[in-house]
Amino acid sequence: MKIEAIVDCNTILGEGPLWDVAEQRLYWIDSYGQKIFRATATGGEVESWDVPQKIGSMALRKDGGAILSLADGFYLFDFATGASTLIGTVERAGPNIRINDGKVDKRGRYVSGSMDITEASADGKLYSVGTDLSIREIDDGIVVSNGPCWSPDGSIFYFADSRSRAIWAYDYDLATGNVANKRRFALFGEEDGLPDGATVDAEGYVWSAGVYKSKLHRFAPDGSLDRTIDMPIVCVTSVMFGGPDLDTLYVTSMKTAPVPGVVETGPLAGSLFAITGLGIRGLPETRFAG
């Protein structure tokens, strides 16, 4: 196994690595820097685009461009012009609530949750954006929405509320996009960090970034811990398999921790990392069908 910093992008809050099979390119974001990045599998040909608000996540669209979770709602993004077009805002309990992590289900819906940036109140919600661009709420009572991903067959939805220290599993109805039977999948201990961005590999195992504790964790489908990887930075934020053979694990990180008492140090903070030699493959990401 080899861990390498491949892009010195210096992200304030790097998040959301996204490998696109069709383009053979990796995308990621700087939430607080309000940027989208794109690069080759090895970190070359880096491009970036500015967005008008803090960005929680993005997904590519089937017909081109992207869908974005910006602070106040969901937007369509045009890479050619850099324009963001509002799909719809969401009702927020106050100015400290913004939309955060999101991914696309097997039927092309975009599922994304909101969070309290002070990480104090449970005023966050989980939303589903349909292929008709309709927005509906599918869960609530969330402090920090993170790590949405699905089992390989799409029947189980995994989702972390970081401040609960837990990854939760739901039964997921692919026909309707509804969730049910919420139960705790995995609980993080004090030395595991907090569950942040996540992905599911081809074997159905869940990978989660243990932010603030330099950890990446892999959980078996029954929720048991399979392995832990120690990273050379404190604030690892999200993970995604990509590369030509889907066997490189990309990891984002943050330069500045928003939580009091957590200090990131070292020249690698904010970099994009690639882990090779794991002998594990990921799954292609579905594009948003709206």
Catalytic residue numbers read 196
Q: Say how many residues make up the chain.
A: 290
Tokens standing for 76?
Answer: 């369509």
Is 119 flagged in the annotation as binding? no
Is 18 within 8 Å of 60 (Cβ atoms)? yes
Please name which of 272, 217, 270, 231 lies closest in space to residue 250, comparing C-alpha atoms: 272
Is 146 flagged in the annotation as binding? yes
Please name which of 149, 120, 195, 194 lies closest in space to residue 57, comparing C-alpha atoms: 149
Is 178 flagged in the annotation as binding? no
What letter does residue 205 receive in the DSSP assignment?
A: P
Non-local (6+) Cβ contacts of 132 within 8 A are 290
C-alpha distances in angstroms, 51 versus 32, 115, 274?
10, 19, 25
Is 98 flagged in the annotation as binding? yes
How far apart CA 270 and CA 286 sit, in angstroms, is: 27
Beta strands in 72-150 (DSSP E): 73-77, 84-89, 97-104, 110-116, 124-129, 135-142, 145-150
Is 196 flagged in the annotation as binding? yes
Q: Binding-site residues for a divalent metal cation, please? A: 15, 146, 196
Q: Binding-site residues for substrate, please? A: 98, 100
Q: Binding-site residues, please? A: 15, 98, 100, 146, 196
